[in-house]
Amino acid sequence: GKWMYYVDDGLLVPNVTDKATLVHIARMVANAYQPTDSETWENLGDRWDAHDSFGWAEDGIRGHVFADADNTTVVVAIKGTSSTFFLGGGSETSARDKFNDNRLFSCCCAYVDFTWATVCDCHMSGSKCNATCLQDAMNDETSDNYFFAAAQIFMDVVTQYPRANIVFAGHSLGGAVAGLLGITFGLPAVGIEAPGDRMASKRLHLPVPPAGAAGRVPLFHVGHTADPVYMGVCSGRTSTCYYAGYAMESRCHNGQQLVFDTVAQRGWRVDMRHHRINEVIYLALEPWGITDPEERMPTLEPEDKDCVDCGLWKFVYEDSPQ
Q: Is 180 helix (H, G, I), strand (E, B) or coil?
A: helix
Contact residues for 24 (Cβ-Cβ < 8 A; gap 6+): 1, 3, 44, 45, 48
Distance CA 41, CA 35 (A): 8
Q: Which of 138, 222, 212 is nearest to 179 (CA)?
A: 222
Distance CA 169, CA 172 (A): 10
Angle of CA points 98, 99, 101, to nearest 5°: 60
Q: Which of 97, 30, 101 is nearest to 59 (CA)?
A: 97
- Total residues belonging to the chain: 322
Known catalytic membership, residue 235: no
Distance CA 72, CA 166 (A): 9
Residue of 106, 172, 201, 235 marked active site:
172
CA gyration radius, the chain: 19
Distance CA 29, CA 306 (A): 30
Strands 123-125 and 73-78: unpaired
User: Exposure string (b/e) for 12-34, b if CB count within 10 Å is 16 or more?
Assistant: bbbebbebebbbbbbbbbbbbbb
The 128-130 sheet, strands edge to edge: 123-125, 128-130, 314-316
Which parts of the chain fold into alpha helices (H)?
19-31, 94-105, 131-138, 146-160, 173-185, 198-203, 228-231, 240-244, 262-266, 277-279
The set of catalytic residues is: 172
